Amino acid sequence: MSIYIELIMREEIKHFLEIEQAGTPNMRNGYYQRNLDTQYGRIEGLLVPRDRNGEFQTQLFAPYQRHTGWLEEAIIRMYQSGMSTREIGKFIERILGNAYSPATISRITDVVKEDIEKWHTRPLHKRYSVLYLDGLYVKLRRKTVEKEVIYVVLGVNEEGYREILDFFVGGQESAYVWQEILQHLYQRGVKEVLLGVFDGLPGLEEAFKSVYPKADVQRCVV
């Protein structure tokens, strides 16, 4: 693989210097070595060409990048599956031979948190024909592994398309939490709902009606 990468970089600097030579006397200035971790393994002693003015930069990787983007994606996927940052660090050390501290992995997984936060605060339609409310119990890892509820709100808009409006994680299902979730959706722009569909959780119908008093309600079929 290193042969092909080096070939590409030689073509890159050749093209770069052809453009540069029109106005400056820049030229090649040998190579420097670096290692690059890829999803196919580590490339040792990769020869990266350089120019005399130090202006050339390959498009294959960033100046101080030591691994391709697959590693960040793998860390994020492991984090999403419930592995702790320390467990991920040990796994990366076993396959690559170098340790990633929990702090470093936390910075990478912060990308997931930022995306989720943007999704949680995105604007919603004003009017939905139907809102489906459901609490799904799954095993979640915190200090221990326990079953906790994931509150899921699925909406059907006026064009008939379904979308997950929001979800929240934590504790045991309660009508009080559902009421807070519905109030949050109302503040984000969901002002009108024609029909609410949910199970017979005690107090849930009253909680729904407190936010959308004009909507009809229907028990879901289990």
Tell me whether residue 65 is in a domain: no
Report if residue 60 sits inside a domain. Answer: no
Is there a single domain that holds both residue 85 and residue 145? no
Phi and psi based region of residue 165 (left: phi greater than 0; alpha: psi -120 to 50; beta: remaining): alpha
| DSSP assignment letter at 24 | S
Return phi, psi of residue 165, to 5°.
-75, -40
Same-domain check for residues 143 and 167:
yes
Question: Is the whole-model pTM more than 0.75?
Answer: no
3-state helix/strand/coil string of 34-72: EEEEECCEEEEEEEEEEECCCCCCCCCCCCCCCECCHHH
| pLDDT tens over the chain, length 222 residues | 566 678 778 878 888 887 766 667 788 888 888 887 765 567 778 888 988 888 888 877 777 666 556 666 677 767 766 677 777 777 777 665 665 667 766 776 676 677 778 888 888 999 999 999 998 888 776 667 678 888 999 999 988 999 999 988 877 889 999 999 999 999 999 999 999 999 989 999 999 999 999 999 998 765
Range of 176's domain?
A: 127-219
State the Cα angle at 212 between 209 and 214, rounded to 5°.
90
- Domain total of the chain: 3
